[in-house]
Structure 1
Amino acid sequence: MKNMIAEFKAFIDKGDVVTIAVGLILALYFKTIVDAILEGVILPIISAIFGEPNFAAIGFDVGDAFISIGLVINALVSFLAVAFILFLLVKAYNKSKGPEEEEASGPSEVDLLTEIRDQLRANN
């Protein structure tokens, strides 16, 4: 049993599960904010443009079936809004980090492999 607990602890530590869990929880709450912006501001404006009180009511009838273009528009607007908001967040985050520090200059991987090859040839 102790071995299994040790293995589980190593599994948790190896994958940095806590950091991932915090990121996922923040993403879920961020989704709530984006949904509120979409449902409270953007989608009502688009619904008003089409003259429909309900966004899902935008569409047309084909026989007995109703083709809801509003649901497709809703999905597209939601995707574009989330993508744009995430773009702005990433851009602001990258700007706040400042200029990236260049990595320490040294020989490249190819240079090191070439040097090793040359040394092996010299020893034979």
Structure 2
Amino acid sequence: MTKKAGGLIAEFKEFISRGNVVDMAVGVIIGGAFKAIADSLVGDILMPLISLLTKKVSFEDMVWVVGGGQTVIPYGNFLAAILNFLITALAIFLLVKAINRFRKKEEVAPPKPPATSPEAALLTEIRDLLKEQKK
């Protein structure tokens, strides 16, 4: 039982130390922090403007009454959630795009192929001589 637990811990340490997992964790944290900004942008700026255009007092007032007034579907809240998602997704996309552009600038030219060994150079010379003799 101890061996399995030690193996599990070692496997978890290997998993967590991979670069992709750390990058993903950072992305999730940044996305979560950005959500508050997106919520404020949608709730405090965009929704009042849209409400003004639709002649509604607020997005909470945007409802669809069904069944003679027995059922109320608040579609305004759903629209606000969609806008929040789209703004957050756009911001994350732009952030990732900027990071990728920065990483491409950091990339160094590919390393030169290793110099051929003296044996390989000699074999190449022999091959070329044999080709000339056949002609």
TM bucket (normalised to shorter chain) is 0.5 to 0.7
The aligned residue for residue 58 of structure 1 is 62
Shift in alpha-carbon separation, 1:81–1:23, aligned structure 2, 3 A: closer
The aligned residue for residue 24 of structure 1 is 28
Shift in alpha-carbon separation, 1:96–1:35, aligned structure 2, 3 A: same
Asked if the contact 2:61–2:74 (Cα under 8 Å) also holds between the matched residues in 1, the reply is yes
Tell me: higher relative CO, structure 1 or 2? Use CA pairs within 8 A at least 6 residues apart.
2
> How far, CA to CA, are the matches of 1:3 and 1:36 in structure 2?
51
| Structure-to-structure mapping, 1:42-121, within 5 angstroms | 42-62=46-66, 63=68, 64-99=70-105
Superposed CA RMSD in Å reads 3.0
> How far, CA to CA, are the matches of 1:97 and 1:21 in structure 2?
18
Secondary structure of 2:57's match?
coil
What do residues 83-122 of structure 1 show as CA deviations (whole Å, max 9, x unaligned)? 221222122222222345576698xxxxxxxxxxxxxxxx
Amino acid at match of 2:14: K
Per-residue deviation at 1:7?
2.4
- Unmatched runs of 5 consecutive residues or more in structure 2: 114-135
- Unmatched runs of 5 consecutive residues or more in structure 1: 107-124
Per-residue deviation at 1:10?
0.8
Amino acid at match of 2:73: I
Per-residue deviation at 1:6?
2.7
Shift in alpha-carbon separation, 1:24–1:82, aligned structure 2, 3 A: closer
> How far, CA to CA, are the matches of 1:93 and 1:6 in structure 2?
37
Secondary structure of 1:61's match?
strand
The aligned residue for residue 12 of structure 1 is 12
Q: Percent identity?
A: 29
Amino acid at match of 2:63: G
Q: TM-score, normalised by structure 2?
A: 0.57
Asked if the contact 1:58–1:70 (Cα under 8 Å) also holds between the matched residues in 2, the reply is yes
Of the two, which has the highest radius of gyration?
2
Q: TM-score, normalised by structure 1?
A: 0.61
